[in-house]
Amino acid sequence: MSIESIKSPGGGLVPTNGGPLTEEQIPLAVEDVLTTTPFVDIHTHLYPPAFGKLGLWGIDELLTYHYLEAEFFRSSAAIPKQYWLLSKREQADAIWQTLFVENTPISEATRGVIAVLQAFQLPTDRAGLAEARAFFKAQTIERHIERVLQMAGVSEVVMTNDPLDPEESAVWMKGIGNHRQFRAVLRLDRILCAWSAHWQVLASLGYEVDEPASEKSRAEVRRFLMDWSARMQPVYMAVSLPDTFEYPQETAGNRLLRDAVLPACRELRIPVALMIGVRKQVNPALRLAGDAAGRANLLVLENLCREFPDNRFLVSVLSRENQHELCVYARKFSNLMPFGCWWFMNNPSIVEEITRERIEMLGTSFIPQHSDARVLEQVIYKWNNTRRTLTRILPDTYRLLSEDGRGVTRDDIQRDITRLFRSNAESWTGLHSRGSDAPTET
């Protein structure tokens, strides 16, 4: 092998001498750079060990993921009421039996479990789960987290942290140390979307708030957010909003967004993530699996980005029909960053469509994906799927560019993939700026 070439994962030679790549070399270089570049996972529901039982991992959690529960009820005679009475282990057994034994696991979420089992060289076609359970029981969580993130090619994961979740806030109040690979996000759903059910919690904590979210209340919510930001060091604040979200409109949530959340984000120099389009609990019997998606009115983005040029908005939309408009708005407002293919969008066919559209309209100025993992090992299959889809998309993009007259080098590819999967997240969020009063590393 010449010193000016490296062997790609596919076995071909990719020149590293800076010269333009041939048509055959482009896919090899893309695959190689995707494999060797660690990604930042900008939105998950994962936790480091200090959060104890809040951090989900292992085969029973993987099988009872709410994406799989929704599929289970389509293929089983079980009714939700009976299912919720089962233990976690019994639920996992029922889902394995229905979706993996009696049916072929071809859906995205079922295939994900297979890919995780395969990654740990566990059997994928047994009638029972004995081997998998024995394997996960033998792991210690600290070491397992490190190994899983390494297998997923992820250097840092961003959590979802709700200061009004009693279980979670108790952990923060104990004063946990920072984990090297986990960063916090201050989640605002209870404040912005269900204020009337939660203002009294803030009042009981000593904040002078009221139900109508009066001016004094708004200042107090801002104080609450600053207090919790000092505790969590969030890399951004976030809210999931319904498809019916409108701005401006005189609601308590909008008053709090305008006068508490956005000023706090400006002061902290962090963005707010708006995840728009969820139709909460259309079927409450399914619990977490009972939410649906709806097309939203993205005029809200026009209004917010224009009215608040000093705020930055990370935005993901849940409806396929909103994806193109999101790209158009990103072209109009540089304080808008589209991110991820969220939840019902996170299927290879749709990810491929959305990502191609974003590249064509935005170049590399967007964040293509987040995992949304709720169970640790999911990062393995979710990020593997992302890399696999990008291995199809990027070579096409570069081939077209070469045909149009601009040769593409390996350095170009490295720069683009680094920007898409690392530096857009790093420069847009507080990822690499822990405050001076941040707790020490553990």
Binding site for Zn ion (CB under 5 A): 372
Query: What's the rounded Cα separation, in Å, for the pair 175 and 269?
Result: 24
Nearer to ligand RAT, 270 or 318 (CB): 318
Tell which positions 160-179 bind ligand RAT, by CB under 6 A: 160
Nearer to ligand RAT, 186 or 413 (CB): 186
Nearer to ligand RAT, 59 or 373 (CB): 373
Nearer to ligand RAT, 73 or 343 (CB): 343
Measured in degrees and rounded to the nearest 5, phi and psi for residue 278 equal: -90, 135
Identify which of 409, 389, 391 has the alpha carbon closest to the alpha carbon of residue 401: 409
Q: Give the total of residues touching ligand RAT (CB under 6 A).
A: 7
The one of ligand RAT, Zn ion, none whose footprint includes residue 240, by CB under 5 to 8 A per kind, is: ligand RAT
Measured in degrees and rounded to the nearest 5, phi and psi for residue 182 equal: -115, 130
The one of ligand RAT, Zn ion, none whose footprint includes residue 172, by CB under 5 to 8 A per kind, is: none
**Which residue among 178, 217, 233, 240 contacts ligand RAT (CB under 6 A)?**
240
- CB 345, min distance to ligand RAT, A: 10
61 touches ligand RAT (CB under 6 A)? no
- CB 40, min distance to ligand RAT, A: 17
Nearer to Zn ion, 69 or 372 (CB): 372
Q: How many Cα neighbours within 13 Å face the side chain of 106?
A: 3
The one of ligand RAT, Zn ion, none whose footprint includes residue 232, by CB under 5 to 8 A per kind, is: none
386 touches ligand RAT (CB under 6 A)? no
234: preceding bond cis by omega (within 30 degrees): no
Q: At what angle do helices 348-362 and 378-403 cross, to 10 degrees?
A: 40
- CB 162, min distance to ligand RAT, A: 10
Parallel/antiparallel/unpaired status of strands 313-317 and 5-7:
unpaired
Nearer to Zn ion, 168 or 372 (CB): 372
Nearer to Zn ion, 189 or 372 (CB): 372
The one of ligand RAT, Zn ion, none whose footprint includes residue 217, by CB under 5 to 8 A per kind, is: none
389 touches ligand RAT (CB under 6 A)? no
**Which residue among 171, 343, 348, 423 contacts ligand RAT (CB under 6 A)?**
343
Query: What's the rounded Cα separation, in Å, for the pair 414 and 358?
Result: 19
Query: What's the rounded Cα separation, in Å, for the pair 242 and 30?
Result: 37
Identify which of 375, 313, 315 has the alpha carbon closest to the alpha carbon of residue 345: 315
In 54-140, DSSP assigns E strands to none
Give ∠ CA 84-88-89 in degrees, rounded to 5.
130
- CB 267, min distance to ligand RAT, A: 25
- CB 251, min distance to Zn ion, A: 23
The one of Zn ion, ligand RAT, none whose footprint includes residue 64, by CB under 5 to 8 A per kind, is: none
User: Which residue type sits at 128?
Assistant: G
Query: What's the rounded Cα separation, in Å, for the pair 316 and 245?
Result: 14
The one of Zn ion, ligand RAT, none whose footprint includes residue 262, by CB under 5 to 8 A per kind, is: none
Residue 234: CB partners within 8 Å, gap ≥ 6? Answer: 161, 183, 184, 185, 186, 228, 268, 270, 430
CB 292 within 8 A of CB 319: no
372 touches ligand RAT (CB under 6 A)? yes
Nearer to ligand RAT, 340 or 395 (CB): 340
Q: Which residue has the tokens 């010193």?
A: 3
- CB 43, min distance to ligand RAT, A: 7
374 touches ligand RAT (CB under 6 A)? yes
Query: What's the rounded Cα separation, in Å, for the pair 114 and 124?
Result: 6
Nearer to Zn ion, 263 or 271 (CB): 271
Helices (H), 257-317: 262-268, 299-307
In 308-413, DSSP assigns E strands to 313-317, 336-338
Please report, as ranges, the residues that interact with ligand RAT according to CB under 6 A.
45, 160, 240, 275, 343, 372, 374
